[in-house]
Structure 1
Amino acid sequence: MEKTQSIRTSIIGAGPRGTSVLERLLAHAAALATDGTGAVQLHIDVIDPYPAGPGHVWQPQQSRLYLMNTQSFYPTLVPQDPALAAPVAGTTFDQWRAEQQAHPSPSLTPDERAELAVLGSSDFPSRALYGRYLRCTLDELTEKAPDGVTIQFHETSAESVRPAADGTFDVGLAGGSTLRTGAVVLALGHVPSRLNPEQRELQGAAEQLGLRYLPPAVPADVDWAAIPAGQPVLVRGMGLNFFDAMGQLTEGRGGKFVSNGGKLDYEPSGQEPLIIAASRRGTPYRAKAALAGYYPASVTLRYLTDAALERFRTAGIRPGFDHDLWPLLHRDTLWAYYSTLVRSQPGAVPDTAAFLTALEEALHPHAHSAAKWEDGVESVLAVHVGPRHRLDLPGLAAPLAGRSFASRTQLDAAVVEYLLDDARRSALGEDDPVKMAIGALHRGRAVLKTAVADGGITDESWVAGLRGWFESFVEGLASGPPALRSEQLAALARAGIVSFVGPDPKFGVDRRNAVFTASSPWVDGPPVAARTMVEALAPGNRVSANDSPVLEQLLADGLVRPRLMMTAEGAPVQSTGLDVVPHPYRPLAANGSVTENLYVLGLQLSSSQWGTAIAAEAVQPGQPAYRSGQRTLRDADEIARAILGL
């Protein structure tokens, strides 16, 4: 006999992760209605001040100059795992792209149609177009919601979540109204963050001296028109947000990039400022290689594998990053580089067969050997590979390290040389040894995400290793922009629109002259000066420094707490994310108890998962389906099952 249950749940956050929870709830409600086990009366409140689907970051109205960091074939909102309940609607982004090219939706704008007309599977879409995909998918989901399911969207902010006497929650909304609900999902995504002490000091100085200071923000929220033409603007950070700023201040002001005899030139409009770019490395992230898929087909991990993780689990070992995991990935990176070198540059190694045999033997983990494996590899390289062809991994991530410059003109020339060399390597794709070494790191990152989320790693190695040095190292190599951006930046530098500060910059305020300043210890000459400074950094993802009313209230009331980790010295360190228990992820209260019926998905899981900012990965034919690729969708599925009592 069927039984009907009545459930009410609230999802706070209507971006991709919140929409994934909604999608999974609908999928399971539809399955319940058809498999004869029982019907469900389900009401879902979706709360976000921004339109549901795209949420804050992916608004379809934003500038089309803002590109995604992944190609069309990569992202999906809808799971493709046959073990999960079948979706009621929706496809991957690439399937949606192809369908819209063949049969455009009447809701598409002329700009969206124009972008779709020339967008290929391996091209980088605009964030605006991805936002349109998210909105279209949400519309399909709501149209096909099963009987008994009602959805109400509240375009406002949730300001509090408090337990009620009957075991439910009261969700307080901006404006004073309250929703009574049985379960709450925190799918907050990128929340505002309080400025750090240095940023507050710079902001305060700007207010006192009449300067212009733009703190970290979602690029689409920034008023780029407020930056005056023809004057210097100091931009801190050369990651992905930097290229967003660069585009808005150049092409966004009428300038044009033109191809000229195989190289890219820039034709100014006269409305550009002088962009002075600064970052710790002194250079932007390395550009992505031109590949047929997300991972290079010629690179296969031999050492950091799922089987290796299983061996740790079987032995009852919680691995350390530096001691257990990085040595395996380091081996894979070396093999990817040198096997590509001998394949693509036959003259680089005289006796290829002997070299690869000796290298393979040196890389093999010898369980009973006390010798350092790196010494064995060095011995092999000393015999077979000349210095010019050696892999310098630290040097890849810090291309200006160990160099000093007599002037900023000399520095600018060095950065342009780096950018063009990196773009050239990207164009070679699978035939460039450096890009294939980075490809191994990229594959390894997917395996590391599984290691962290499924088995965990030691606290001390999380603090000192994974987050201490590896995260910034691998992001600078494997999370870069399309190669076109490197060529554009080089063209802007040659045109005198962009110049650089140099590595390890120091920032300050010259109060006498009322300007921001920046200088590098490795570049001779006076500090650069500007009356405008832009923080081209993503807002900090640290729950203890958040500026979200609902998250602050939950912390203040003790319903959630940040996770503490122990360093190797035994000192507690507050990590970036919430303290949670799996599965599904529920927060621990200040007293250590589990806050039941409150679920966490996405960025606030950054102390239990690694790489939480990356979207779900669509399954690609011929490519490995890493367990970490659709983890956020499985997390959403677990939440939906728990809410429905499955």
Structure 2
Amino acid sequence: MESVSNQHEYVIAVVGAGPRGTSFLERLLAHVERCSPGQRRKLRVLVFDPAPHGSGRVWAPQQSPLYLMNTPASFPTAAPSGGTRRSLPASSCSISFLEFCASAGFDDDAASYPTRSQYGTYLAWLNKEASAHLRGRGVSVEHIAEEVTGLVPHNDQYLVETAHAGRTADAVVLAIGHLEADLAAGPAHLAAEAEQHGLHYQGPAIPTTVDYRLFGPGENVLVRGLGLNFFDLMIQVTAGRGGQFRLNQDPAPGQRYTYEPSGKEPHLIAGSRRGTPYRAKTLAPGFVPGGIRLQHLTPQAINTLITNHHQLDFTTHLWPLIEQDVQETYTQYGGSGVFDVIAFAKPFQHQSWASPQEYQHTLIQWLEDDAASSAAGTGSPEKMATNALHAARLEIKKLVAEQSIRQSSLLRDVEGWFEPLVEGLASGPPLQRIEEVAALARAGIVEFLGPEPVYGVDTTQGAFIADSAAVHGARYTAEHMIEAMMPPNRVSQAKSPLVRGMLAQGLATPAVIESGGQAHVHRGFNVTAQPHRLIHADRTAGQIYVLGLQLSSVQWGTAIAAEAGGDTRGSARSLTDADAAAAEITSAAAQGQHLPSVQNAARVQ
């Protein structure tokens, strides 16, 4: 393997050229544009990713136009825009996705739900523009369509290894996004049984990497998961195979479409612990509708709690305030009585059904009701109360990032039950998808398992099986099963040779959270405060910066993008992370400044 180095330049290796890597390039440009070339060493930027640069795999512009984002066009950005620019000055190519849409000929309706390929086109444009503007400022930028397989400390620098060469870098930015992962014990057992009996098992994966052609016309497909990956599967094997959603005349909400099959569709039998899909987003405008005001979970109340308790327990200190805000919002928008948001998230708890047909009827009615509630916008007390919950989530994210919530409570409460609660209620698809799945259920293309379904393999039949104790007589068999979910964002399960190698040599360590007197290995890397750098096994930290999903140890949630005009402490924090890394790296590259030794970096407290 050839080794390439350059002693006269400050070299930055960006590993991952998706949204986070692209945001870093744009933020680096902003810092370069604010200083003269004489104030720093010559910069060289090496950008590594085998996937399309800018979009990465998830947002590839070439993917099916049937895949939609689950945020309106007004939300996402990979560069500062609007009010965010008061804290993070814009670069010469800093625009949001919505601002890009008008110039690209895309739908620029702020409330529309764009395709993922359109957002990928924006990311590819921003990546290309940032690279070109950097070159115009004398920065060398090289895009390398290869996977980084290893990272090794080398003479106060890092050797960045690919299959064909090794490049030396002074600083490394890890923006590696979603990674393939080893299966957990239960799914691994299913996969092994499936292989033994000639069945097809599809584990958690990015939807664009799944070969849905393996599901033949009319074949049963067991699906575990009714979140966003389910809707991708659903649309790709129906409309993606020539089926038509016909618009009904003067339809009631939830009955907007009739589905006309092509005859090529498989039969999807889908389940989740709740028994229902994620609820649709409301048509009330805004990422958080404008009328939502938190009266109890306020900055003043939070500051008082922190003053009195230093670190907070979510269930004791924060959840009561959230419940009050949810209830008052429900009442404000016309709801009567007590709104139990936890019960709302599990509508079929402690219920049973006499037959699968009875359960299908219940689910279709649930879908139609949810669609009607979403279509009502501010006329739905339930949906507006759910948006108060969503607004509270944004405040909790800030507290997690600022380490104001006890680690034990973060693990037990925030990640343990609050996260799935909010995901199912406030992170669902656009209304269109619920209308479509209702039409597919009426057409018999999609069938639902009951709550708390159980999946397995019947070794005598040589088939997958699934049933729900809540639905009498519901037992399904299939030769296919798919986990409709993304790979787990857990560094200790990552298949990536880069991540495995860094963990093995102690260059990286997983975060550990203490709870109940026990140490729990967390999902993300152990990192320093912002700008987040890897903490090595010897508790030192060098010049390896982390952006995105692998920061889950210090940030809660996996937002797909920053919010255009958002708060740099909250919904636009991913831009703050990129900016902080770019600022420190450009400072280190300042002319004549001593570069810290990787092996002798300052000890982390």
Range of TM-score over shorter length: over 0.9
Q: Measure the CA separation in 2 of the matches of 1:273 and 1:471.
A: 32
Aligned to 1:414: 362
Matches within 5 A, 1:45-444: 45-80=46-81, 81-101=85-105, 116=106, 118=107, 120-145=109-134, 146-165=136-155, 167-175=156-164, 177-261=165-249, 262=251, 263=255, 264-315=257-308, 317-341=310-334, 385=337, 390-444=338-392
Equivalent residue for 1:632, pick from 537, 556, 574:
574
Task: After the TM superposition, list the runs of 4 or more consecutive aligned residues in structure 1 that deviate by more than 2 angstroms.
Answer: 80-86, 305-316
Residues 223, 605 of structure 1: CA spacing in aligned structure 2 closer, same or farther, 3 A cutoff? same
Between the aligned residues of both structures, percent identity stands at 42
Letter matched to residue 44 of structure 1: V
Q: Measure the CA separation in 2 of the matches of 1:423 and 1:612.
A: 26
1:95 offset after TM fit, Å? 0.6
Matches within 5 A, 1:449-468: 449-468=397-416
Aligned to 1:352: none
Does the 8 Å contact 1:29/1:40 carry over to 2?
A: no
Aligned to 1:573: 520
Cα distance per residue 1:28-69 (max 9 Å; x no partner): 1111128xx724411001111112100111100000111101
Q: Secondary structure at the match of 2:572?
A: helix
Aligned to 2:30: 27
264-273 or 195-204, larger mean C-alpha shift: 195-204
Aligned to 1:15: 18
Q: Measure the CA separation in 1 of the matches of 2:502 and 2:41.
A: 30
Letter matched to residue 333 of structure 1: V
Give the length in aligned residue pairs: 573
Letter matched to residue 433 of structure 2: R
Letter matched to residue 73 of structure 2: S
Per the normalisation by structure 1, the TM-score is 0.86
Does the 8 Å contact 2:333/2:381 carry over to 1?
A: yes
Q: Measure the CA separation in 1 of the matches of 2:461 and 2:320.
A: 51
Does the 8 Å contact 2:523/2:552 carry over to 1?
A: yes
Residues 526, 393 of structure 1: CA spacing in aligned structure 2 closer, same or farther, 3 A cutoff? closer
Aligned to 1:481: 429
1:326 offset after TM fit, Å? 1.4
1:244 offset after TM fit, Å? 0.2
1:305 offset after TM fit, Å? 2.2
Aligned to 1:504: 452
Does the 8 Å contact 1:33/1:40 carry over to 2?
A: no
Cα distance per residue 1:58-107 (max 9 Å; x no partner): 10000011110101000011113223243121310001112223xxxxxx
Does the 8 Å contact 2:282/2:377 carry over to 1?
A: yes
Q: Secondary structure at the match of 1:486?
A: helix
1:14 offset after TM fit, Å? 0.5
For structure 1, the residue ranges without an aligned partner over 5 or more in a row are: 102-115, 343-347, 349-384
1:142 offset after TM fit, Å? 2.0
Equivalent residue for 1:604, pick from 532, 543, 550:
550
Does the 8 Å contact 1:119/1:125 carry over to 2?
A: no
Q: Measure the CA separation in 2 of the matches of 1:583 and 1:141.
A: 23
Equivalent residue for 2:562, pick from 616, 622, 634:
616
RMSD: 1.7
1:206 offset after TM fit, Å? 1.9
Q: Secondary structure at the match of 2:189?
A: helix
Q: Measure the CA separation in 2 of the matches of 1:19 and 1:495.
A: 43
Aligned to 2:598: none
Residues 526, 503 of structure 1: CA spacing in aligned structure 2 closer, same or farther, 3 A cutoff? closer
Q: Measure the CA separation in 2 of the matches of 1:562 and 1:408.
A: 44
Letter matched to residue 575 of structure 2: L
Does the 8 Å contact 1:31/1:85 carry over to 2?
A: no
1:316 offset after TM fit, Å? 5.9
Q: Measure the CA separation in 2 of the matches of 1:64 and 1:153.
A: 27
Q: Secondary structure at the match of 1:51?
A: coil
Does the 8 Å contact 1:233/1:531 carry over to 2?
A: yes
Cα distance per residue 1:432-457 (max 9 Å; x no partner): 11001101011111111111102331
Q: Secondary structure at the match of 1:513?
A: coil
Letter matched to residue 445 of structure 1: R
Q: Secondary structure at the match of 1:10?
A: strand
Q: Measure the CA separation in 1 of the matches of 2:301 and 2:11.
A: 43
Q: Measure the CA separation in 2 of the matches of 1:577 and 1:491.
A: 40
Q: Measure the CA separation in 2 of the matches of 1:312 and 1:30.
A: 42
Q: Measure the CA separation in 1 of the matches of 2:266 and 2:108.
A: 31
Equivalent residue for 1:584, pick from 512, 531, 534:
531
Name the one with the larger helix percent: 1
Q: Measure the CA separation in 2 of the matches of 1:456 and 1:606.
A: 15
Q: Secondary structure at the match of 1:18?
A: helix
Residues 626, 77 of structure 1: CA spacing in aligned structure 2 closer, same or farther, 3 A cutoff? closer
Letter matched to residue 211 of structure 1: L
For structure 2, the residue ranges without an aligned partner over 5 or more in a row are: 1-7, 589-605
Q: Secondary structure at the match of 1:576?
A: strand
Does the 8 Å contact 1:605/1:612 carry over to 2?
A: no
Q: Measure the CA separation in 2 of the matches of 1:461 and 1:483.
A: 34
Per the normalisation by structure 2, the TM-score is 0.92
